[in-house]
Amino acid sequence: MSSRHLLDPAYQLLADTTLPPLTHDTLHSRRVLAVQLAAQRSQTASRELDAVRVAERFVRGPAGAPYVRVLVYTPDVDAILPPVLVHMHGGGLVMGTPEAADLRNRRLAVDVGCVVVSVDYRLAPETRFCGAVEDCYAALKWVHGNADAIGVDRAKIAVGGESAGGGLAAALALLARDRNEIPVQFQLLTYPMLDDRTGSTVDAHPYAGEFVWSSASNRVGWSAALGDELGINRMSTYLPPARAESLAGLPAAFIAVGTLDLFVEENLAYANRLIAAGVPTELHVYPGAPHGFDAVGGADAAKHCRQASTAALCRALGR
């Protein structure tokens, strides 16, 4: 069923952007295209955002795994020890790099006055569940253990990401809670990819997923990460986060999603579970907005989401 009549006019160009369908056969070309698009977006940074220092680091990975590459974004701030956000990029678990969120992370570092550490986690299908989550935990552990050297406050650590990165941030919050080694203060989840059942064993509502990220794309991403376990009746502790048995004891959460996003129902369900578990949760649902809506900077929904997420992160980290 077409949702074109429900689309916010600000997203017409985004909706009309034609990319090759995501399949296992087209995955390589889609990865190359994602890198090219990221390079184009990063060229639009303002002088203010150019002042953010970016350093590439390689941190010790999980046992038996390679080192994990991270990008460290450091703004010019007055605070001696600013807070830090450990960030995960999007890409359906199968695409993307930290550079894809370069402009977003520069802006967030300036707006919040925090350091952003963006993780280049291993992608599926080359690395299956739960390698990506463990890579993110290795980066989180490095931030906490080297806070003085990085120049951040180890008592003010948040995790966040968009799409697949939002799902990994949610999984990372679960992992940090259960291992009880590193205190996480906040989780910033932008249209997070949380549930492998969406589009496989559970149908989305008839107006969801027409633009940008479809049920077919979702099946490709999750099957690459989970293989034969896609959509079966099991409870996983960390990935997908929607399968977690309990959400109690998690840090406060911010969730933003559009009504036309394939993930809208799973995001609403996760927010409800967080609230029922006693987790302070802020939820924003934007009418007429598709997946990736915040990439269109001039749209009202994108502006509001940026303001709301920045304010929530500032409150959580005491900025």
User: Could you tell me the CATH number of the domain that includes residue 106?
Assistant: 3.40.50.1820
- Please identify which of the residues 163, 214, 217, 309 carries the catalytic annotation: 163
Q: Is 214 a catalytic residue?
A: no
pLDDT digits (tens, 9 = 90+) for 83-106: 999 999 999 999 999 999 999 999
Number of domains forming the structure of the chain: 1
Q: Which pLDDT band holds residue 129 (cuts at 50, 70, 90)?
A: confident
Instruction: Give exposure, 267-306, as e/b (b: 16+ Cβ within 10 Å).
Output: beebbebbeeeebebbbbbbebbbbbbbbbeebebbeebb
Ranked by mean pLDDT, the top range of 30-44, 46-60, 208-222 is: 208-222
Q: Name residue 124's amino acid.
A: A
Q: Which pLDDT band holds residue 230 (cuts at 50, 70, 90)?
A: low
Q: What percent of the chain has pLDDT over 70?
A: 94
Range of the domain at 79: 4-317
pLDDT digits (tens, 9 = 90+) for 161-192: 999 999 999 999 999 999 999 999 999 999 99
- Please identify which of the residues 102, 111, 196, 261 carries the catalytic annotation: 261
The average confidence (pLDDT) of the chain is: 93
pLDDT digits (tens, 9 = 90+) for 112-124: 999 999 999 999 9
Instruction: Give exposure, 169-179, as e/b (b: 16+ Cβ within 10 Å).
Output: bbbbbbbbbee
Question: Could you say which DSSP state residue 239 is in?
Answer: S
**pLDDT at position 1, please?**
77
**pLDDT at position 260, please?**
98
How far, in whole angstroms, is CA 244 from its chain's centroid? Answer: 18
Q: Is 261 a catalytic residue?
A: yes
pLDDT digits (tens, 9 = 90+) for 13-46: 988 887 889 999 999 999 998 888 777 766 665 6
- Please identify which of the residues 87, 291, 294, 309 carries the catalytic annotation: 291
290 CB contacts (<8 Å, ≥6 apart)?
7, 11, 14, 15, 210, 211, 212, 258, 260, 261
Predicted TM-score (pTM) of this structure: 0.96
Least confident of 2-11, 33-42, 167-176, 303-312: 33-42
Compute the chain's Rg from CA coordinates.
Answer: 18
